[in-house]
Structure 1
């Protein structure tokens, strides 16, 4: 089985990049762009985006993102495309906006430029789009033909977003090394179609080390609207290191459990990375990880304001049969990454680990 690494053709990170998108798009071809944009970003930066494309004399169609990253939405957008005028798909916003742009690019067979305006997930660099139902439940992973052609991270915009989103990205990134390590131990085939490599595992480890070294300072600085070295480091960890690390290193129990939790209406309000953070604690308990490692992960989550209990997930007092529903889905959903664990995992083991994680997070001893 070959080792395979996916990565964007180009990754750009800096401040003020939103004004240069037209120039970057021109480098990808002389046709116009179809841009899918988060509503807030469109209202706040729409004119700046338009001016950047006008300066390059490139046609631009702006499409406000609404609803879910669902197959229904994607197919509607593909049908809207004017193939004679559009040469590039652009996604500007959060994870679901970017995944929608990737899916549109995939079905339209056009290059894509992604502009994350928050660092809440590692979606921008991946060759996957996560599709949801119209009601917001996990639907499927959509494997794409290629990695994004260009990822542009404007750190000034990202630092100005609510700090909760940066923290959620840190929660998503926290799982990267532990899942890649599990896949390395099991020899799992990742979404790339090959096994993980030393390089992918090293990037995943660097992601974790960066979170532990700079996470607290980055949250403080971003909360004050400052663009500092720590903020730059965490943006890179959340978007690039985690993006390459999860895709080429592999997913395992943490994301499988996240996917199961999306079925519970009680935690619909919890962000992707927040669910993943709690699920990472569950994975470590499933693995029988060293106590010091579990304690360090719990302490990190406490520091970042990430959930470490079921109550923080909106699941206080929920009957165990509801939790078992999520546990069963984590093991049984089609193509669940739970199969990448180095040992067989049952729904009952997941449920017990969830309850143990809750007890640890609440200060008890599991």
Structure 2
């Protein structure tokens, strides 16, 4: 049977400066008893404005500081709170791990889920999955949900006041969306959620890329100065919504497999989005992309501070690169969505070549 095309997205998306002050107004239809699963920084940056949004309301609110890892026991702890406090709605307030734990809590207890990201470092808020870990920090599973989150609320002012390095990493994650989707469409691969890739999904992925190219540099400048501008708002939407919905409805390819290969080394310090950005250049090398397209992506990375060489991600030995290549090409990895498939040796060669081109480009920039 031919694979059915499908589109998935959050039921509601709200974004803007001061959005936290409108939280209750926008979400009150979901219930009256709320559990806020907060990172430490999320609680500090959002608690007061969230409370102001409930001004004069008698809704029950409980704020729990998240333990830092979306682990089996942490999720179970939150499930117990939902049940004992008769919670109607679970709300994630924080970064990726808090979001993953809150999603899982809501899923296992059958409650609605709202996501309030405090950084724009990845597209995790809008996706229909969580990464779950064992209590010792080892990987447990990717938990896929039957639908995407009920609502996302993004306060642009909170993002503007977060360290700019997170926004830059988010743009790196979003950069891969269009190129990974394009590769997956060429091979008629399934979307991330298992359906056929839609034109709408590809259009969103392309709009994500176009937005980054048009407003990325200006958005970085705005975030460096902790102000919300139309350019920053546009890029936040691209990173959080367009990239998340785009990725869900197309699929990943070499960039995310490269990231998974890097994580297999253990103890890495590079941000997810920084690895995905360099992985996008690797994919273009594997695809033998036009010189102009490859250099255009290099231009963008240099413009906003994303890596174009391996040394910007960390110190890797030749043995490390072979390990990365082997694990990035493991069975089930999305790099196999590329036409002609990719062997570990081919990926290793592409990594070396991409790094060499990046070092050559940096030398040229330094001489200019």
Superposed CA offset, 1:208-261 (max 9, x none)? 111111101111112112211101110111011111111101111111111111
1:355 aligns with 2:352: yes
Change (3 A) 1:347 1:72: farther
Q: Which residue is 2:307 aligned to?
A: 307
SS at match of 2:115: strand
**1:248 — aligned with what?**
249
Structure 2 equivalent of residue 101 of structure 1: 102
Distance 2:138 2:343 in 1: 22
- CA 1:326/1:113 → structure 2, altered by over 3 Å: closer, same or farther? same
In the aligned structure 1, how far is the partner of 2:137 from the partner of 2:154? 26
**1:120 aligned counterpart, secondary structure:** coil
CA distance in 2, matches of 1:346, 1:75: 40
> In 2 relative to 1, CA 75–352 (structure 1 residues): closer, same or farther, beyond 3 Å?
farther
Q: How far, CA to CA, are the matches of 1:147 and 1:59 in structure 2?
A: 25
Q: 1:76 and 1:301, CA in 2 relative to 1: closer, same or farther beyond 3 A?
A: same
SS at match of 2:30: coil
Cross-structure match for 2:21: 19
Contact 1:36 1:92 in 2 (8 A): yes
RMSD of aligned alpha carbons: 1.9
CA deviation after TM superposition for structure 1 residue 138, in Å: 5.4
Q: Tell me, in whole angstroms, the C-alpha distance in 2 between the residues paired with 1:148 and 1:343.
A: 35
Tell me the distance in 2 between the aligned counterparts of 1:83 and 1:184: 46
Task: Give the structure 2 partner of residue 114 of structure 1.
Answer: 115
Contact 1:37–1:64 (CA under 8 A) maintained in structure 2 = yes
Whether contact under 8 Å (1:88, 1:113) holds in the other structure is: yes
| 2:168 paired residue number | 167
Take 1:256 and 1:17, find their aligned partners in 2: how far apart are those partners? 35
Task: Measure the CA separation in 1 of the matches of 2:356 and 2:265.
Answer: 20
Question: In the superposition, relative to structure 1, how do residues 133 and 354 fare at CA in structure 2: closer, same or farther (>3 Å)?
Answer: farther
TM-score between both structures, scaled by the size of structure 2: 0.92
Q: Residue 331 of structure 1 is aligned with which of 320, 329, 336?
A: 329
5+ residue gaps, structure 2, are: 363-368
User: Distance in 1 between the 2:261 and 2:78 partners?
Assistant: 28
Query: Residue 5 of structure 1 corresponds to which residue in structure 2?
Result: 7
Gaps in structure 1 of 5+ consecutive residues: none
Q: 1:339-361 CA deviation, whole Å, 9 max, x = no partner?
A: 32222111111111111111111
Contact 1:53 1:60 in 2 (8 A): no
Cα 1:298–1:113 shift into 2, 3 Å = same
Kindly indicate whether residue 337 of structure 2 is the aligned counterpart of residue 340 of structure 1.
yes
CA distance in 2, matches of 1:84, 1:225: 38
CA distance in 2, matches of 1:136, 1:261: 17
- The C-alpha deviation readout for 1:100-134, integer Å capped at 9, x for no partner, is 21122122221100011211111111111123455
Show the counterpart of 1:76.
77
TM-score by length of 1: 0.93
Return the alpha-carbon distance in structure 2 between the equivalents of residues 217 and 175 of structure 1.
20
SS in 1 for 2:360: coil
SS in 2 for 1:92: strand
Whole-angstrom distance in 1 between the partners of 2:43 and 2:35:
13
* Alpha-carbon separation, structure 2, partners of 1:69 and 1:299: 36
The question of whether the paired residues in 2 share the 8 Å contact of 1:167 and 1:219 is answered with yes
Give the equivalent residue in structure 2 for 1:288. 288
**Which has the larger displacement, 346-355 or 178-187?**
346-355
